[in-house]
Amino acid sequence: MKQIYDVIVVGGGPAGIMAAMASGKLGADTLLIEKNGFLGGAATASVLGPISPFHYKDEQVINGIPQDFMDRMVKEAGSTGHMKTLDPYGSGDSLGFYDREKYKYVAVEMLKEFGVDILYHSMIDSVDCDNFKLTGLTTVSKGGDRLHFSAHVIVDATGDGDIAVRCGENYCIGDPVEHKFSPSSAMFEMANVDTEKVFRYIQENQEDFEFLSDIVPMREFDDRLKQHYFVGQGFKKLVKKAVEAGDLEFGRDSVIVLNGIHPNTMHFNATRICGLDATDVVKRTESEIDGRRQINSVSEFMIKYVPGFENAFVSVTNAEIGVRETRHIEGMHTLTGMDVYEGRKFEDVVSRGYFPIDLHNPDGKEGYGNGGVWKVPKDTYDIPYRCLIPKHIDGLILSGRCISGTSEAHGSYRTQGGIMGIGQASGVAAAVCAKNHVQPREQEVKEIQEELIRLGASVYRDEEKAKAEKARARKIAQEYIKEHEGNLITLPEILKEYED
């Protein structure tokens, strides 16, 4: 392994993977450093559910290398590709179900094809940052072995902005006033579930659910993954009964279920861990313990109370809690909630956002409208290159959920699809800066935009393409509704919207 690289990416989650792929594909000598012995970050280690949408009202907004990755996953029998939710409330416009083990495998194979070096089991011990210029870093292994690396540009894809903070950059945790942040969750799956029985229960008790939707296949995928896909958040009557009986103790007042990637499995994003700062190792330890207790309580509740789970068991749990929000690093521009909601555009756009502002209740168990927020933007919005550039540090590019934005804006771009797009942009920017031997803040954005477009990224809206995508999605949804008439859980008023 070399000691000097053009680009070093720290963090092998979705943003870091895309950054390293983009940098490598553009020919930069690239190293990806990851703390675990596998890639995926929260997508694999935290047992996330489906990949959040790449779409805004059926227009595909995230494209290029992230879509290449999805296509490869489908080819390797590891994903359904993007599936359409008939009712996007609570989930977004589409969901991309995936096998986490295939995710780990495909990510490495593609990175190797792009010539990227990977270093596992490594934490950052120190950074070389003098006069606000980052030039290298030292990693440390579990056994104390240290390796030193230098690079023209380092990409901070740690999620928490660890490299930027080590360099002394300013940051804010959560919102700027009370420093409250979206809670974390411990995620898990159950197997040996009678999913059709669960579906029928939801169908017969629609009034007991906050949101529910059928999920429509949009492309062919491996027969092993074919099943009846759906999502529902509720079971409120059963939850209330179990809580009163002392059989359930967790951080919410309802349970959300949706399919796992394999038949007869269900995924749970059903716990809530409030008020514990995940950048504080003691607090994070408390979060892990609390999350594990909630997993046990919820899973036992499902077996005892919910039809279809009588013979089920916990098959997968997270290796670490899923963290939604920690530090927002100060950059040359800070994206705001109004930028997101109004769908604002910027000349230095390098990625586009689209997901609703999704803020989980930081204080209690209640959902959207009672402490939580679900607010759909008026249009897609631009993520400026300046949000990826730290305010004071040279030699560093921000990536993923730690870019410069407010807590409200972060509530939209933090989802997996969004940070894949940001990751691609950060990797392209890093490779271009290394090639031109310039600091990120000095690089003309036009060249970065051109390279992104060459990779297939949707930097700007293609009106004709978007129109065709919407028409195709509507037609497929209509055919699905007709074929499954009488066997749907989507509310009638939503189904009516698909009528011509």
Read off the pTM: 0.97
pLDDT at 139 (0 to 100): 98
φ/ψ of residue 322, rounded to 5: -85, 115
Residue 475: is its pLDDT beyond 80? Answer: yes
Dihedral angle computed from the Cα positions of residues 146, 328, 88 and 184, in that order, rounded to the nearest 10 degrees: 60
pLDDT at 367 (0 to 100): 62
Dihedral angle computed from the Cα positions of residues 462, 110, 432 and 463, in that order, rounded to the nearest 10 degrees: 0
Q: How many percent of the chain have pLDDT more than 70? A: 98
CATH among 1.10.1040.10, 1.10.3720.10, 3.50.50.60, 3.40.50.1220 for 4-180+326-364+377-461: 3.50.50.60
How would you classify the pairing of strands 146-156 and 396-398? Answer: parallel
Q: What is the pLDDT of residues 290-343, one digit of tens each?
A: 999 999 999 999 999 999 999 999 999 999 999 999 999 999 999 999 999 999
Classify residue 494 by burial, with Cβ atoms within 10 Å: 0-12, 13-18, 19+. Answer: middle
Angstrom distances, CA of residue 346 to CA of 351, 383, 430: 10, 7, 20
Q: What is the pLDDT of residues 263-282, one digit of tens each?
A: 999 999 999 998 889 999 99
| Of 110, 48, 97, nearest in space to 424 by CA | 110
Q: What is the pLDDT of residues 343-359, one digit of tens each?
A: 999 999 999 999 999 99
DSSP letters spanning 78-105: -EEEEEEESS-TTT-SEEEEE-HHHHHH
pLDDT at 369 (0 to 100): 60
Q: What is the pLDDT of residues 208-247, one digit of tens each?
A: 999 999 999 999 999 999 999 999 999 999 999 999 999 9
pLDDT at 223 (0 to 100): 98
Residue 386, C-beta contacts closer than 8 angstroms, at least 6 positions apart: 331, 332, 333, 348, 404
Q: What is the pLDDT of residues 352-390, one digit of tens each?
A: 999 999 998 887 666 666 668 899 999 999 999 999 999
Please compute the mean of the pLDDT values over residues 439-458 and round it to a whole number: 98
CA distance 434 to 429: 9
Q: Which residues of 43-54 are buried (b: 16+ CB within 10 A; e: fewer)?
A: bbbbbbbbbbbb
Q: What is the pLDDT of residues 89-123, one digit of tens each?
A: 999 999 999 999 999 999 999 999 999 999 999 99
Q: What is the mean pLDDT of the chain?
A: 96
Q: How confident is the model at residue 59 (pLDDT cuts 50, 70, 90)?
A: very high
pLDDT at 252 (0 to 100): 87
The answer to whether the CB of 401 falls within 8 A of the CB of 322 is no
DSSP letters spanning 333-373: S-B-HHHHHHT---TTEEEEE-S-EEE--SSSS--BTTTBE
Q: What are the extents of the domains in the chain?
A: 4-180+326-364+377-461, 188-317, 465-498
φ/ψ of residue 445, rounded to 5: -70, -25
CA distance 166 to 163: 5
How would you classify the pairing of strands 55-56 and 59-60? Answer: antiparallel
Q: What is the pLDDT of residues 153-184, one digit of tens each?
A: 999 999 999 999 999 999 999 888 888 888 99
How far does CA 267 lie from the centroid of its chain? 15
φ/ψ of residue 360, rounded to 5: -80, 145
pLDDT at 368 (0 to 100): 66
Q: Report the DSSP beta bridge partners of residue 119.
A: 33
